[in-house]
């Protein structure tokens, strides 16, 4: 028996899933360990092995692939705990990273201080050189200035150096020579070159992204190396892959040298999971939401196409590498209820985290959280949280809700818990609605795919507020991203800047750029051991109308690169621009900005195992009843509780009822119906009755 394993390290829990060659799946959810994230990963693997009645060595010895999504890069930036980083820039440009080009969080608050860059000014040195906008050397590199700058940074004790010289994306020769000098003068320092990290126009974004790579590289490299060595020690001989920000995976050998590609690692696996489950029902317009213990992530899949972006902000640091277009809200099971200066009740973004966690965990937490509210309302059973692995204290949950919320509002504990539940649902729905609107979509045209351990308890309420007609709750919702990782292809993205107006495009030059990128992609996939028949390339380009400074990325058709291929891409640009911004003009001049290529190595698909067929009657899965609060029913009502593992294909669940899985709970309010599909997923179709 052989296994494929996915491990997703989140803020509160570390999720794991193992799939054997027959499609049988085993899941695990262990508390994350912020002091050393590798401990949570190890505990998760031990738990998976135990479920097969195997020792860890036996389990890993039979595992072919381990795919891991890590928050190390993100956490390093959020906590400002990265390497002491220096920056080398062209004379006159060391303050580029400070001037910035992103809006303030509160644009009308002039007292708001400017965010501090990852590299302070005294660690930013200038070197004498200049390459012009054509890629021609205007001022040769003064190597003495480089030696002097490196010596200064060495004296300051920097651990990592970012090199970002003007127009190096057109001619990287100066940056490469600077790297050689650094390796000679200061071999202990890590070096990140902008011409390698992100070779594209936009000086600030390129500098900031390179600084991020340099800042997180030592932490990421240490974490990956420690985890890889531990796996090898425990008998793992398979392929160790890492989830990347672009939604693809990469070999640890490649990713360890490209730390910035892991900056937004964990949530990037969600689209793969949503697409697999959606395609079971012929659905390719999906809104994927993932509510865990700390955050609420949502993204859009438009006609089977996952939206990506090259403009992100991670804790005030601009990030330009391709990444899944995920919006994140500080809303999860651990989100804390609090009052603002106007005495208005708010929930999140502050979270109780893995420790001490919600009050009901009994680990010393005293704040009222969303999980505490769900326990008080009867949605979560204190005796069956994580399958009984963590017994919850309902008395502590009631105490926290009463002292932190109810007493201040002058209402009962139950009403206060209902208020916390309602507020968090509204916050998530409002944020999701805004995400749709700013991208030019109507949420009513999409199916809501709800995941995360906490998501199914809130999904139908979010659906109700958004006016969405169909909801899909995957059987694997609690380990959603871990499952998505097991189905993600290897992917590496490359960019070549080539600014030219539409009428003077040099097609032969574009072919040359794509040949360079394809050779680079072939080499990377070959290093990763991807067979030639499983390698393919996806070409795209960035365009804009003349005078604009925002580009739209469009995919190019496959096959030989001809003028017809470019014309098809341009036609798609006009259509896409109209969809995004409400207008387009085929007669208006366009500008080509850059050409891109994704090198993809496909991995064998994941086969889902079907569950036993049944009838609409789900009574055999009833495990009992308990009191649960539903506003439309006037308060607490006696509610059926189903064992999710006993549900059969075709079973219909009519609210009010609750479905308990080992690691999640589905709350179905009065007036809603859901049915179980052939793989154990719950879906509410358009024909379902609901008030």
| pLDDT for 688 beyond 60 | no
What is the rounded average pLDDT of the residues 364-390? Answer: 92
Q: How far apart are CA 654 and CA 230, in angstroms?
A: 48
pLDDT in tens, 474-528: 999 999 999 999 989 999 999 999 999 988 899 999 999 999 999 999 999 999 9
pLDDT value at residue 103: 67
The H-or-E segment that residue 462 falls in is helix 459-466
Helices (H), 135-242: 143-155, 173-185, 194-197, 203-233
> Which pairing describes strands 622-630 and 470-473: parallel, antiparallel, or unpaired?
unpaired
Lowest mean pLDDT among 23-37, 186-200, 405-419, 662-676: 23-37
Burial of 659-678, coded b for 16+ CB within 10 Å and e otherwise, reads: bbbbbbbbbbbbbbebbbbe
Two domains, one topology: 3-76+221-266 and 82-215: no
Does the structure show a pLDDT above 50 at 687?
no
How sure is the predictor about 265, in pLDDT bands with cuts at 50, 70 and 90? Answer: confident
Tokens linked to 646: 């006993």
Write down the pLDDT at residue 228: 94
pLDDT digits (tens, 9 = 90+) for 89-148: 999 999 999 888 766 767 788 888 888 899 999 999 999 999 999 999 999 999 999 999
Q: Which CATH architecture has domain 490-601?
A: 2-Layer Sandwich (3.30)
What is the average per-residue pLDDT within 318-344?
Answer: 90
Radius of gyration, alpha carbons of the chain: 26
- On the question of pLDDT at 178 being above 50, the answer is yes
3.40.50.2300, 3.30.420.40, 3.90.25.10, 1.10.760.10: CATH of 3-76+221-266: 3.30.420.40
pLDDT at 685 over 70: no
Q: Which has more pLDDT, 605 or 47?
A: 47
**In this structure, what are the phi and psi dihedrals at residue 103, rounded to the nearest 5 degrees?**
-70, 155
Residues 38-44, mean pLDDT to the nearest whole number: 93
Mean pLDDT of the chain: 91
Residue 447 above 70 pLDDT?
yes
Give CATH for domain 82-215. Answer: 3.40.50
Helix (H, G, I), strand (E, B) or coil at 537: strand
Residue-range domain boundaries for the chain: 3-76+221-266, 82-215, 490-601
Q: Is 324 exposed, middle or buried (0-12, 13-18, 19+ CB in 10 A)?
A: buried
Percent of the chain having pLDDT more than 90? 71
């Amino acid at each position: 028996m052989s296994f494929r394993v996915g491990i997703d390290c989140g803020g509160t829990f570390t999720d794991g899933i193992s799939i054997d060659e027959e499609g049988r799946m085993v899941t695990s959810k262990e508390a994350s360990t912020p002091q050393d994230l590798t401990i949570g990963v190890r505990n998760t693997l031990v738990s998976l092995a135990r479920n097969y009645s195997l020792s860890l060595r036996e389990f890993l010895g039979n595992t072919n692939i381990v795919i891991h999504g890590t928050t190390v890069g993100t956490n390093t930036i959020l906590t400002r705990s990265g390497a002491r980083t220096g920056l080398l820039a062209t004379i006159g440009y060391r303050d580029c990273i400070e001037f910035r080009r992103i809006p303030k969080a509160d644009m009308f608050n002039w007292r708001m201080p400017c965010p501090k860059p990852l590299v302070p000014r005294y660690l930013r040195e200038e070197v004498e050189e200049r390459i012009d906008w054509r890629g021609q050397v205007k001022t040769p590199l003064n190597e003495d200035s480089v030696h002097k700058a490196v010596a200064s940074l060495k004296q300051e004790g920097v651990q990592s150096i970012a090199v970002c010289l003007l127009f190096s994306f057109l001619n990287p020769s100066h940056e490469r020579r600077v790297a050689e000098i650094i390796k000679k003068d200061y071999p202990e320092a890590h070096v990140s070159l902008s011409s390698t990290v992100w070779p594209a126009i936009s000086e600030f974004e390129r500098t900031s992204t390179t600084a991020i790579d340099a800042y997180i590289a030592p932490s990421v490299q240490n974490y990956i190396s420690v985890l890889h060595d531990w796996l090898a020690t425990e008998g793992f001989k398979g392929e160790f892959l890492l989830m990347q920000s672009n939604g693809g995976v990469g070999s640890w050998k490649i990713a360890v040298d490209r730390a910035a590609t892991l900056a937004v690692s964990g949530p990037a696996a969600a689209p793969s999971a949503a697409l697999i489950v959606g395609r079971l029902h012929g659905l390719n317009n999906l809104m994927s939401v993932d509510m865990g213990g700390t955050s609420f992530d949502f993204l859009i899949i438009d006609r089977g196409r996952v939206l990506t972006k090259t403009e992100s902000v991670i804790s005030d640091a601009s990030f330009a590498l391709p990444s899944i277009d995920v919006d994140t809200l500080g809303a999860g099971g651990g989100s804390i209820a609090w009052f603002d200066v106007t005495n208005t009740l708010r929930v999140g973004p502050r979270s109780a985290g893995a420790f001490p966690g919600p009050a009901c965990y009994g680990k010393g937490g005293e704040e009222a959280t969303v999980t505490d509210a769900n326990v008080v309302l009867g949605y979560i059973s204190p005796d069956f949280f994580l399958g009984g692995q963590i017994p919850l204290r309902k008395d502590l949950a009631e105490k926290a809700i009463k002292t932190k919320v109810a007493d201040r509002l002058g209402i009962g504990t139950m009403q206060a818990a209902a208020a916390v539940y309602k507020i968090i649902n509204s916050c998530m729905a409002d944020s999701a609605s805004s995400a749709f609107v700013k991208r030019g979509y109507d949420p009513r045209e999409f199916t809501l795919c709800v995941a995360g351990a906490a998501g199914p308890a809130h999904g139908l309420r979010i659906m109700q507020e958004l006016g969405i007609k169909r909801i899909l709750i995957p059987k694997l919702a609690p380990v959603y991203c871990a499952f998505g990782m097991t189905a993600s292809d290897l992917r590496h993205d490359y960019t070549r800047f080539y600014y030219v107006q539409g009428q003077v495009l040099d097609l032969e030059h574009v072919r040359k750029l794509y040949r360079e990128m394809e050779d680079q992609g072939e080499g990377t996939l070959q290093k990763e051991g991807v067979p030639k028949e499983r390698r393919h390339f996806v070409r795209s380009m960035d365009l804009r109308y003349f005078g604009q400074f925002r580009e739209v990325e469009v995919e190019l058709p496959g096959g030989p690169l001809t003028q017809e291929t470019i014309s098809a891409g341009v036609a798609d640009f006009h259509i896409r621009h109209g969809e995004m911004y409400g207008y387009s003009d085929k007669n208006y001049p366009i500008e080509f900005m850059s050409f891109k290529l994704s090198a993809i190595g496909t991995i064998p698909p994941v086969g889902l195992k079907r569950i036993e067929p049944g009838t609409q009657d789900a009574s055999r899965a009833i495990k009992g009843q308990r009191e649960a609060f539903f506003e439309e029913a006037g308060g607490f009502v006696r509610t059926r509780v189903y064992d999710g593992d006993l549900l059969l294909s075709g079973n219909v669940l009519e609210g009010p009822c609750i479905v308990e899985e080992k690691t999640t709970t589905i709350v179905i309010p009065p007036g809603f119906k859901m049915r179980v599909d052939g793989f154990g997923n719950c879906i509410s179709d358009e024909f379902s009755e609901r008030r």
